[in-house]
Amino acid sequence: MAAKWIELVTGSLEQKKQYKQAKARLDALPEPYLSVANAFNRYLTYYGGVTEGDTIVRMFSDFADLWERAAIDGTPVPEIVGEDPIEFAESFAQAYGGKRWIDKERDRLIKAVDQAKNREAGS
């Protein structure tokens, strides 16, 4: 019963475990894949803003798969990310869809403007 209460507050413990496993896979990569994958991981954490745990876990597991395969095959980093690493990271994150933090803020902004319009119309 305590586990359900904890998960209610913190989110799925299983998803946290899966994320940590994906992160450990990234941390086990050889250089230069390690430093580049960690930089992308950090960027995706800030840029992605995904709020759904299952989407985050799937995204980071797939991300670990990508870098592990590249390291095994010896694929040069530029062949993976292309000419624009920002575009690569953002396209990768957008492919996973899901609800993002910014969606909540967009809704709040729209609601605030709508309320202001309604107040002005009622005056």
Instruction: Kindly tell me if the per-residue pLDDT of 87 is higher than 90.
Output: yes
pLDDT given at position 123:
67
Whole-structure pTM value: 0.74
pLDDT given at position 26:
96
Tokens of 33: 């894949």
Euclidean distance between the first and final Cα of the chain, in Å?
53
Tens digits of residue pLDDT in 26-66: 999 999 999 999 999 998 888 867 778 888 889 999 999 99
Question: Which domains are seen in the chain, by residue range?
Answer: 2-122 (1.10.1900.10)
Per-residue pLDDT band for 3 (boundaries 50, 70, 90) equals low
